[in-house]
Amino acid sequence: MSLVIALLLGALSVLVMFPAAQHLRSLQDGERAHATLHTSGACMAGHCQVKFEAAGRTVVADLPVGSGGGRSSVGARLTVRYQADDPQVVAREEDVGGGGAAVLAVMSGGGALLFLVMSVVAAIFVARQRRADSTPGRTPQDGQRHGGD
């Protein structure tokens, strides 16, 4: 079971959180705009939307996975960075350094290593137990008192 958890945490880190952190960093040089939180929710999971003006039109865009600000209420003011050629690609200015995605990538990677080490230690323990139980000349009753002894 520990190995399965290690694989899942490793996959979360490598396939989801690390790319999310890279995506957030890619917007560091993006256009800057003042926005309002249009839809709040689990921003870290990518369930928040912001509303802002870009090139003279109003844009409502989803914040990417790894965004912070989940505790903010609808209508909260914030600053965002977006791609000039595609205003739908947006992130909170506070998150363009990698944000919570980078922290979660490191934490889930560390958790994966922890569970991997636990599964290796458990495998070594089980192998030693089996080897000790199958030692020649030893029976399962060795070392135990018999009822008539």
pLDDT, position 99 = 67
Low-confidence residues of the chain: pLDDT under 70? 70, 99, 136-149
98 touches 24 (CB < 8 A): yes
pLDDT, position 136 = 67
Q: Domain 29-96 is in which class?
A: mainly beta
Q: How far is CA 73 from the centre of its chain?
A: 24
54 touches 85 (CB < 8 A): no
Domains in the chain: boundaries: 1-25+97-134, 29-96
Pairing mode, if any, of strands 57-62 and 49-54?
antiparallel
pTM value surpassing 0.95: no
pLDDT, position 139 = 57
